[in-house]
Amino acid sequence: MSIELRTSPHQVSDRSVPTIMKHVVLSMLPICAFAIWQYGLSALALLLTVTATCLLTERLLNRSAPSTLNDWSAAITGILLALTLPPTFPLWMGVVAGFVAIAIGKALFGGLGFNVFNPALIGRAFVQAAFPVAITTWSPAFSTQRFSEFIPSTLTAPLMIPPDIAAWIKLQSVDAFTGATPLARWKFENVTATAHDLLSGAVTASTGETSAILILVCGMYLAARKFMDWRIPVAVLASAAFTAWMFQLYDPSHYPSPSFVLLSGGLMLGAVYMASDMATSPVTPVGVWIYGAVIGVVTVMIRYFGGLTEGVMYAILLGNAMSPFIDRYTQPRVFGTRQKRQK
């Protein structure tokens, strides 16, 4: 009889990596369904294309080793990446984003658990730099022909300039489409969207960022099942709300309300699904609060004073870079010992 010896802890649990990842994927399905209901065939094609690219890239880069597709991590990367892209994004650009996310954001660091940065955000950052026009082109939600035809830019041939969709938008029965996200309208026109529109998804945004309440409910499911550290999204949202509140107290005519900051853009999606990534976030009890607070504050600062309208992606990537240092300097004291003073 052989005995297998392992290091502590020895508690047996059914919460394996594939189990956790599978539940994360299941929690995102309502968000995907709502995105498809909003944008139709183009959103469906974008989700399938980017996710398939991530899965194929994962298998291609690990073709000489046992398949790692059954841990669901590549699927999560693909779905999250697609949800951060606009529904007008050409599919071939989505393929580029998916390949970069897995090849550079994950495989380059050694695979699952070794990546320093969130792979989906690496892919998103790459295409934002490579295709700035395509990634800031928006489409109206709930168009009448969304289930019978693609948005014209979706099927653009590789290396070709996407067509202007302004003429296509005029043919859609959409009320008051401005062509700008709520953050862009506030930043450049000083116009804020209503809380009802932000909660219901009746705004222009990336594919999976429109319904803040749905994202929050899906995140609560993960927190209730203990598949996500609830302290991270709470710290992100609380710090962002507090920072926005302080600025609004200083100048209420210029700075928006905390509710607008929380519900607009990709803050809710980033706080729930990306900042809480287990491989790229701290693990110490104090560290998770510091990590979330940094992301929330930096997001608001970029929105208010940066050249970009959105700052969630860069704030989370900065938090990922700081994560090892936060863990290092927030280690709890070992029971029965005294904290050593450092000279």
Q: Are 140 and 169 in contact (CB under 8 A)?
A: yes
Mean pLDDT throughout 181-188? 84
Categorize the per-residue pLDDT at 80 as very low, low, confident or very high, splitting at 50, 70 and 90.
Answer: very high
Mean pLDDT throughout 150-170? 79
Mean pLDDT throughout 225-232? 92
Q: Specify the pLDDT at position 339.
A: 57
**Average predicted confidence (pLDDT) for the chain:** 87
Q: What is the pLDDT of residues 2-48, one digit of tens each?
A: 555 555 555 556 677 888 899 999 999 999 999 999 999 999 999 99
Mean pLDDT throughout 151-155? 89
Is it the case that residue 66 has pLDDT exceeding 50?
yes
Is it the case that residue 173 has pLDDT exceeding 70?
no
The region that residue 37 occupies, defined by phi over 0 for left and psi between -120 and 50 for alpha, beta otherwise, is: alpha
Tell which wins on pLDDT, 68 or 256.
Answer: 256
Q: What is the pLDDT of residues 245-286, one digit of tens each?
A: 999 999 988 899 999 999 988 999 999 999 999 889 999 999
Is it the case that residue 234 has pLDDT exceeding 50?
yes
Is it the case that residue 318 has pLDDT exceeding 60?
yes
Q: What is the pLDDT of residues 91-122, one digit of tens each?
A: 999 999 999 999 999 998 888 888 899 999 99
Q: Specify the pLDDT at position 284.
A: 92
Quick one: what percent of the chain has pLDDT higher than 90? 54
Q: Specify the pLDDT at position 175.
A: 53
Q: Specify the pLDDT at position 343.
A: 47
Tell which wins on pLDDT, 334 or 131.
Answer: 131
Measured between alpha carbons, how far is residue 197 from residues 26, 141, 203, 204, 270 in Å?
A: 26, 12, 6, 10, 19
Cα gap 22→308, rounded to integer Å? 34
Mean pLDDT throughout 142-162? 86
**Residues 49-78 as b or e (16 or more Cβ within 10 Å = b):** bbbebbbbbbeebbeeeeebeebbbbbbbb
Cα gap 159→91, rounded to integer Å? 11
Cα gap 51→79, rounded to integer Å? 6
Categorize the per-residue pLDDT at 300 as very low, low, confident or very high, splitting at 50, 70 and 90.
Answer: very high
Q: Are 282 and 327 in contact (CB under 8 A)?
A: yes
Tell which wins on pLDDT, 318 or 163.
Answer: 318
Q: Specify the pLDDT at position 166.
A: 67
Q: Specify the pLDDT at position 84.
A: 94
Pinpoint the alpha helices (H) of 251-340. 258-263, 267-269, 285-305, 312-329
Categorize the per-residue pLDDT at 187 as very low, low, confident or very high, splitting at 50, 70 and 90.
Answer: confident
**Sole residue written with tokens 């660091």:** 109
Categorize the per-residue pLDDT at 170 as very low, low, confident or very high, splitting at 50, 70 and 90.
Answer: low
Q: Specify the pLDDT at position 11.
A: 55
Q: Specify the pLDDT at position 18.
A: 82
Annotate 59-98 with three-state secondary structure. Answer: HHHCCCCCCCHHHCHHHHHHHHHHHHCCCCCCHHHHHHHH
Record the tokens describing residue 70, joined without a space.
Answer: 């059954």
Quick one: what percent of the chain has pLDDT higher than 70? 88
Cα gap 15→35, rounded to integer Å? 29
Mean pLDDT throughout 181-209? 81
Is it the case that residue 293 has pLDDT exceeding 90?
yes
